Amino acid sequence: MNPAPDRPRFSYDDDLIDAARADGHTRVRVYRLQKTVVVLGSGSRPEVELHENACRADDVPLLQRRGGGCAVVIDPGNVIVSVVAAGLPFGRHRSQFDRLSTWLIEGLARAGVENVRQAGISDLVLGDRKIAGSAIYRSKDMLYYSASLLVTADLDRIARYLRHPPREPDYRAGRNHLAFLTTLAAALPGLAAASDPESFAQAIRRNLRPPTL
């Protein structure tokens, strides 16, 4: 599904994708956005997944990512980790997804965030609360993976902009956004870096090793 004319693509990693395609080298980026956006999956239905009136009232841009999944809110309290790899055999999407989730979990542990596990297909959780979501996109010549970590994210804003998703992993068990999500700042009050997204982004950069795909 291509982005609708009035729904621009989430393009923050386009240069990373172009560089990986040009030279075949895997790229990793850790960054934050300076404004709040709502990002829809490639097959998302805004009328089902969003409180569109709230998004319009707050002038929040609606973007569309390459990968699937439901809509998410990304604000300056999130830290995004993206990976682009070129030249991989097409297929084995789930095993690649799992490998990248494990790679990120190991990097989080080195940064002081221990006991994170993968739940559902694309979530990372502490206990039974989601701390990150991710999506993967595959084409014949490229893999693109991106995860958004809830460091000091505004969970009330998520509840304001997103309806209960039309599909959910079993472990969510029908919980609303505020009962299902948590931030690293709330879950790990003893971890100083978790109180500041930029400090946390720097810690993640230091502790992520090149992924093996």
- pLDDT, tens digit (0-9, with 9 covering 90-100), for 19-46: 999 999 999 999 999 999 999 999 999 9
Beta strands 27-31 and 116-119 are: unpaired
Mean pLDDT of 143-170: 97
Residue-level pLDDT at 100: 96
Write the class of the CATH domain 14-207. alpha beta
The percent helix, strand, coil of the chain (3-state, each to 5) is 35, 25, 40
Q: What is the pLDDT of residues 48-63, one digit of tens each?
A: 999 999 999 999 999 9
Residue from 87, 73, 79, 129 nearest 104 by CA? 79
| DSSP bridge partners of 39 | 63, 72
Q: Is the pLDDT of residue 7 over 90?
A: no
Q: Is the pLDDT of residue 2 over 90?
A: no
Contact 136, 93 (CB under 8 A): yes
Q: What is the pLDDT of residues 168-202, one digit of tens each?
A: 999 999 999 999 999 999 999 999 999 999 999 99
Burial class (CB in 10 A: 0-12, 13-18, 19+), 121: middle
Residue-level pLDDT at 5: 43
How far, in Å, CA of 112 to CA of 123, rounded? 19
Q: Is the pLDDT of residue 3 over 90?
A: no
pLDDT band at 6 (very low <50, low <70, confident <90, very high): low
Is pTM beyond 0.75 here?
yes
Q: Which two tokens stand for residue 78?
A: 């999130």
What residue spans define the domains of the chain? 14-207
Q: How many other CB atoms sit within 10 Å of the CB of residue 161?
A: 22
Mean pLDDT of 159-173: 97
Inter-CA distances, 85 with 22, 71, 207, 211, Å: 11, 24, 19, 9
Mean pLDDT of 127-155: 96
Query: Looking at per-residue confidence, does 68 or 15 come out higher?
Result: 15
Q: What is the pLDDT of residues 90-130, one digit of tens each?
A: 777 889 999 999 999 999 999 999 999 999 999 999 999 99
